Structure 1
């Protein structure tokens, strides 16, 4: 992994501008994915189980799983966020069912801009039909944050990814990183 101080996030997101957002989905707690660009299938083949795996794991891992993903997948993970669409807004503290309603409203919108306020380290994505996603550090809730922890990470179809950390650095992983999972 390579860390760089405040390289242009606008440049990193330039290929994503003009692409459609789809499949906004909550993963766990306040974490969620936004898919961008052309949809394609990602197939996870069945996984050989270790001895002693739980029955629930056995059932899940024996199955082939198929996911519709975009050319780019944005994982919003360890940050504060607000997502606004049509005078409705949700944030990381809201109930999943409230998030779901606003997620559906942003799906199908094209990304029109990506910008960062360097003073507050707030990253903003704006969409063509009024959707707006703001992401910023949760240091106000947790002053002992790891400065190297990702707030969010943009995954590319080729396996590379770019993360934005709590200290405002950009962490780049190439598709050929040996410790990439």
Structure 2
């Protein structure tokens, strides 16, 4: 399976809720919304009070059929009125750019032969370009695509796709 095969089902889907989640990591949703529910977990005694409180609660997440996360990568996003990249210091500019990307339909995905670059093209001229970070280790995730049923596909610098199943219920 190659990267283009992975993204084929997203072609024609609207991107929604694109956001920076931590540092320069971008997360975005595609397809119909679903609820993911994490039941409470019994924390270990050495966990902090904050962790114990968090684990003791049921957590509910609204996610798309597909959740795309750009991780250990450099990225550029351009829309009609904004452009931003992973080195952007002005978070408001990044948020405006992502806000303008929201609601656009994914038309195509390009992946270079060497596997170092991808481009996502949208119907209202939005473009996301993703490059492997020079500093990323070979086992760092370039991107992950999570499917609402818990399966996760990761693409790494060494080209390996990893399929995992998380413990969530719908």
| Partner SS state of residue 32, structure 2 | coil
In the TM superposition, 1:1-12 aligns within 5 A as 7-12=1-6
Tell me the residue number matched to 2:133.
138
The runs of 4+ residues in structure 1 deviating greater than 6 Å are: none
Measured in 1, the distance between the counterparts of 2:59 and 2:149 equals 20
Measured in 2, the distance between the counterparts of 1:135 and 1:157 equals 23
Tell me the residue number matched to 1:154.
145
The TM-score with structure 2 as length reference comes to: 0.87
| 1:99-139 Cα distance to aligned partner (Å, 9 max, x none) | 21111111111111111122472101111111111111111
Measured in 2, the distance between the counterparts of 1:89 and 1:128 equals 16
In the TM superposition, 1:27-42 aligns within 5 A as 27-42=21-36
**1:125 aligned onto 2:120:** yes
- Go from structure 1 to structure 2 and tell me whether the alpha carbon gap of 1:172 and 1:49 turns closer, same or farther (over 3 Å shift): closer
Question: How many aligned positions are there?
Answer: 165
Tell me the residue number matched to 2:45.
51
Q: Which moved more, 1:69-78 or 1:44-53?
A: 44-53
Tell me the residue number matched to 1:172.
162
Tell me the residue number matched to 2:85.
91
Measured in 2, the distance between the counterparts of 1:121 and 1:23 equals 26
Tell me the residue number matched to 2:154.
163
Gaps of 5+ in 1: 1-6, 177-181
- Go from structure 1 to structure 2 and tell me whether the alpha carbon gap of 1:98 and 1:60 turns closer, same or farther (over 3 Å shift): farther
| Partner SS state of residue 12, structure 1 | helix
Which of 19, 22, 26 is matched with 1:25 structurally?
19
Q: Which moved more, 1:33-42 or 1:88-97?
A: 88-97
Tell me, yes or no, if the aligned pair for 1:162 and 1:170 is still in contact at 8 Å.
Answer: no
Measured in 2, the distance between the counterparts of 1:64 and 1:9 equals 34
The TM-score with structure 1 as length reference comes to: 0.82
| 1:22-47 Cα distance to aligned partner (Å, 9 max, x none) | 11122210012111111111122222
| Partner SS state of residue 115, structure 1 | strand
